[in-house]
Structure 1
Amino acid sequence: MVRRERSHNSILIPSGNYICMRSPGERGVYTIHASEHDNVPAASSRFCDELVRIPGPRDGLVAYKDALVGIAARPDVRTIIPTRPEDGYVFSKYLDEFEQYVTLIVPEFEMLRRVHDRKLLYEAAQEANVPMPRTRLFSKVEEFDKPSIVKPRYNVVAEEYVDSYDPSDYDIIKSVRHLRPGDRPEPDAIYAEMKHDPIVQDYVPTEGKYMFAALYDHGEPVATFQHRQIRGNSYTGGGGVYRKSVYIPELETVARKLLSHLEWHGLACIEYLKDAETGEFKLIEINPRMWQSLPSTVRAGADFPYYYWLLATGQKDRIEPDYELDIGTHYLWGELGYIMSVVSDDSPLVERPSLPKTVLEVLVSIYREPRFDLARIDDPVPFARYVWHALFERGSSGEGEVERGNVDRGEQTEERATNVTLTPGFNLRGR
C-alpha cells in the first residue's frame, strides 16, 4: 500500500514493527514494511508507505534472506532495521551480501556469536570483570545445589551453532525451568525440549529488573538508555509491559564496560537483574536488535529507530541521545497477560502475588500514567486493527505478526518460567 511517492531515502523494516515505521516515517523517510502477511496492524499506519510480501523466516532463513537482499538492491533503500530475533543472525551471517547494496549497523558474525551463545557471553563477562550469574552447560552439572534456571544456550538455535540444523532451519526456544536445590530434571526430556545442550544459570534473588539499551559504532557508544521493569509478561518475569525510564550510573558503567570489551557494533538490548543480596547489576543476556519495550524508549525521547537511520546514512553528528527520566508506559495486552499469569503461571522460586492486589495495581498505574505502546490519537487505525486481530482473527493470515508484534515473542522472556515446561502465551507487542 503506497502512501507517498517513493524517494531516494527509504528504510526497510522486516516485521510488523509500528514504532520502527513511525519514527523515521514522521521525519519524511519513506518506509517499506516487508512481511509474510497482508493484514498486520502496523501496515495500516499512516507512516507505512509500502508493504512488500516476502517469505517469513519460518519459510526458511535462506529464502527470507534472499527476499530481503532483493529489496535492499533497490536504489532507494539505504538500510534495514533488525527487529526480529532472526534478523541479528541473518544480517551478520550474510553481511557481505547485504552490504553490496545497503549499510547495516550490525556486528560481524564472530562478535554476534559471543552474545548469542550465553556460555561465551559468560566467559566474556568474566574477562571484562562484570557480574553475571554462574553459567554452565546442563550436561556438565552433576547436582543442583542452588536455586537454578535451565534455559537455551543460544538466542537463536541455528546451523552455525548446532550441527544438526541446515542453513534454512532454526528455532527460537523460550522454554525455561526453575529448579530448587535437590531437583533432578530428566536429561532426555530437557534435551528434547531445548533441542540442544542448554545452560544452567544460578537463580538471582532480585530487587529489580532493568534494561540497558545502546547503539554502538565500532566500540564507541552513540546513544544509551535505561529503564526499570515494574511488570513483565508474567509475575515470574518476562519482557517488560510496564516500565519507567531511569538513569543509574552504576548500571551505565557496568554495561559500557562489557560492550567496550566486546568492541561492540550495532544495537544492544541488555537485560540486568539487581541482586537483592549484593546490590550488583547482573547481566542476563544481550539481544542485538530492537527490543519489545522500544515504544517506551521512544516515548522517553530516546529515538533509537531514527538514531539507527542517522548512523547508517552518515549523519551521526545529528544524533542527540538525551531522554526524560521517570516516564512510565504500558503495553496493554501485556498488562492483561500479567494479570492472567497470576492465575495460570507457577514457579517454585517466585511467590505468587494476590490477584485482587495485582488488578488494583495495574489499574491505578494505568490511570496515573496513561501512556501506551500502540494507542495513538494521531494514528488510530493500527490499534483498532490490533484489537480486532486479538479478539477475532487469531487464525487469520496475519496472526503471526500480531502475536509477535514489534519484535517477536522474544525479548527478555527468559525469566518467565514454571516448574514445568513453559509454553509462551499469546502476546501482542507493538506500539
Structure 2
Amino acid sequence: MNNKAVILGCNYYIGLSTIRNLGVHGIHTVAVDYSEKGAYGAKSKYCSERLIAPHYKKETKKFIRFLINYAREQSAPPVLIPCHDSYVEIIDEHLEELKKCYLIPQTETGLYTKLMNKEILHQIAQENGVKVPETVKVNDENLIEKVENIIKFPCLVKPVDSPTFVAKFRRKLFKVHNIEELKTALEKAKKANLEVIVQRIIPGFDDHMYTYDAYLDQNSKVTHWLTCQKYRQYPINFGASVYTGQKYVPELHEIGATFFEKIGYKGFAEIEFKKDAETGQYYLIEINVRITNINQLLYKVGVNIPYITYQELTGSPVPPKAIEEDTDVRFWCGYEDLYAIRDYVKTKQLSLMSIIKSLLFKPKAYAIWDWKDPIPAFSNSGMIVSKVLKRVLRIPTGSKSNKTKKSI
C-alpha cells in the first residue's frame, strides 16, 4: 500500500487509537503535531513516521503549505485524518487545496463546519425532521421572557463554535440556574467575543445519552454503523465519554441514516442523542465530524472506522457491516473516569457500589492501555504523575534560573 495515512493530532487517545487501527493492517501511519510535548500517541509501535508541523492556528498558511509539500513528495496521495475539531475546521477551510494532493472523504466545502456550528446544525436538523432541544438566540427580543417561559431554568448557555469556546473556558458550556447566572454567562461570552445560544435541558440522567456512529461512502450511503449508550462522562452531565457501552438501538439508525443521507454527508460522523426521560423521544444534541473518544470501542466490536475510511478512499472498500446486537463491550478511560466517579458520588447521582458493579465482568476497550503496545500508556502515565507532583509540591512552571536565562 503506497498511500500513507496522515493523522493530525496525536496528543490525545483519539489519535493514538487511529494510529493503532491502521497500523495493525500494516498501513504506513504518519503522526503530525505542532510539538513533541505530550504527543504520546506518536510513541505507538504502530507509528511509522512522525512530523512536527507549524501550528495549525497560529501559522495556518505555513501549516497548509507544510501538508501540501509533504503530500507532493509521496509516490501516492496520502489519506488525511484529523483527530481534533480544530484540525477539521482548518481542513474544511482549505478543502479545495488539500484535495488536490490528499484523499479526504468529504467533497462539499463547508459542510463539516456547518455541522459543528450549533446554530446552523439545529436549523439543518429541523429542516430534515430531526428533533433538537428548544433554543433561543441571545439577540432574540424578550430573551429573558422566552427563557423563563419556553426554555425554563436550569438551562444551558452553549457555544456556536465549540472548539474556540473550550479553548477559552476549558468547558463545553455554562449551566445556569437563574436570571443572574444567565446574565453572567452571557457577559462572559460577550467579553470573549464568542457567540452563544440558550438551550433547554432534556430531562434524563447521563445514561440517557446515546451515540449513532456511521460511515457513509462516496455516494452518501451508510455502509457501516452501530449505536452506543453513555454511562458516565466527564465533566459529569455535560462532558465527554469516559465509560460507554455498545447498545443496539435501531431507532437511532432510522433517524441518523436518513438525516446523513439527505444532507449528502460522506465519511465518518457521530450523532450524540439524548433520550427524553419523560417522553422517550430522541433529541439530536451535537454531531462529531471526526474520529471520536470511543473509537477503540467501535474497533473492538468490529467496526474499524480509520481502516474503513482508508480502504474506501484507496479503492478497496470494506464490505458493509452493522452491529445489530448487544455486545456489552465498554469503552473505559480510567484516569478521567476517576474524576467523574468522584463527582457523581459527591453529588449523590451514583453510589460507589453501583459504579464498582458496572466495572466488573465487562469486556473493555481501553482508551490508552494495550498489552501489545504499552509505551503510549507509560508515557501518558509519566505526564500525569508529573502534573500531580507539581500540584502537590506547588512547583512553579519555570524555575528561577530558567526565567533569568530567558530574560537575558
Q: Once the 2 structures are TM-superposed, how far is the Cα of residue 57 of structure 1 from its aligned partner?
A: 2.7
Contact 2:45 2:373 in 1 (8 A): yes
Go from structure 1 to structure 2 and tell me whether the alpha carbon gap of 1:124 and 1:234 turns closer, same or farther (over 3 Å shift): same
Q: CA RMSD in A?
A: 2.6
Q: Which amino acid aligns with 1:32?
A: V
Relative distance call for 1:188 and 1:375 in structure 2 (3 A) is closer
Once the two structures are superposed, residues 85-105 of structure 1 have per-residue CA deviations (whole angstroms, 9 ceiling, x without a partner) of 112211121112111212101
Seen in structure 2, the aligned counterparts of structure 1 residues 31 and 188 have a Cα distance that, compared at 3 Å, is closer
Rate the CA distance shift 1:176–1:155 in 2: closer, same or farther, 3 A. Answer: closer
**Secondary structure of the structure 2 residue equivalent to 1:250:** helix
- Residues 326 and 391 of structure 1: is their aligned pair in 2 closer, same or farther, counting only changes over 3 Å? same
| Residue 38 of structure 1: aligned partner | 36
Shift of 1:110: 3.3
1:152 equivalent to 2:159? Answer: yes
1:365 CA drift (Å): 2.9
Q: How far is the alpha carbon of 1:54 from its aligned partner?
A: 1.0
Q: How many residues align?
A: 369
* Aligned twin of 2:383: 389
> What amino acid maps onto 2:20 in structure 1?
R
Q: Report the residue type matching 2:377 in the other structure.
A: F
The answer on 1:11 being equivalent to 2:5 is: yes
Q: Which residue of 2 aligns with 1:112?
A: 112
Q: Distance in 2 between matches of 1:59 and 1:67?
A: 14
1:409 equivalent in structure 2: none
Identity %: 21
Aligned to 1:27: 25
How many Å separate the matches in 2 of 1:135 and 1:19?
35
SS at match of 1:190: helix
- Out of 335-344 and 35-44, give the one that drifted further: 335-344
| Pair 1:380 & 2:394 matched | no
Match of 1:139 in 2: 139
Relative contact order, higher structure (CA 8 A, sep 6+): 1
CA shift, 1:212, in A, is 1.1
Give the C-alpha shift of residue 187 in structure 1.
Answer: 6.7
Is the CA contact 2:56–2:90 (under 8 Å) kept in the aligned structure 1?
no
| Cα deviation, residue 117, structure 1 | 2.0
Q: SS at 1:142's partner residue?
A: helix
Aligned equivalent of 1:219: 220
Match of 1:219, SS state, is: coil
Any unmatched runs of 5+ in structure 2? 391-408
Name the counterpart of 2:337: 335
- Residue 38 of structure 1 aligns with an amino acid whose one-letter code is E
> Which shows bigger deviation, 297-306 or 39-48?
39-48
Question: Structure 1 or 2: larger helix share?
Answer: 2
Q: In 2, are the aligned partners of 1:111 and 1:262 still within 8 Å (CA)? A: no
Match of 1:54 in 2: 53
Amino acid across the alignment from 2:348: P
Question: How far did residue 171 of structure 1 move?
Answer: 6.7
Distance (whole Å) between structure 2 residues aligned to residue 13 and residue 98 of structure 1? 14
Instruction: Name the SS for the 2:144 alignment partner.
Output: coil
Paired residue type of 1:110: G
What displacement does 1:137 show? 1.6
One-letter amino acid matched to 1:310:
Q
Tell me the residue number matched to 2:402: none
Q: 1:249 maps to what in 2?
A: 250
Residues 36 and 53, structure 1, Cα contact 8 Å, conserved in 2: yes
Indicate if the aligned counterparts of 2:144 and 2:179 stay in contact, CA closer than 8 A. no
Contact 2:19 2:29 in 1 (8 A): yes
* Distance in 2 of aligned mates of 1:172 and 1:54: 26
Task: Decide whether the 8 Å contact of 1:330 with 1:366 is kept in 2.
Answer: no
Q: Is the 8 A contact 1:151 1:200 kept in 2?
A: yes
* TM-score normalized with structure 1 length: 0.79
Correspondence for 1:123: 123
Any residues of structure 2 matched to 1:126-205 within 5 Å, and which?
126-140=126-140, 141-143=143-145, 144-145=147-148, 146-147=152-153, 148-157=155-164, 174-180=171-177, 182-183=179-180, 184-186=182-184, 189-192=187-190, 195-205=193-203
- Which stretch of the first structure deviates more once superposed, 144-153 or 171-180? 171-180
User: How many Å separate the matches in 1 of 2:388 and 2:33?
Assistant: 17
Q: Is the 8 A contact 1:242 1:330 kept in 2?
A: yes
* Residue 139 (structure 1) shift: 2.3
Aligned to 1:347: none
Q: 1:210 to 1:194 in 2, by over 3 A?
A: farther
Displacement of 1:281 in angstroms is: 0.9
Per the alignment, residue 80 of structure 1 pairs with 80
Q: How far is the alpha carbon of 1:363 from its aligned partner? A: 3.4
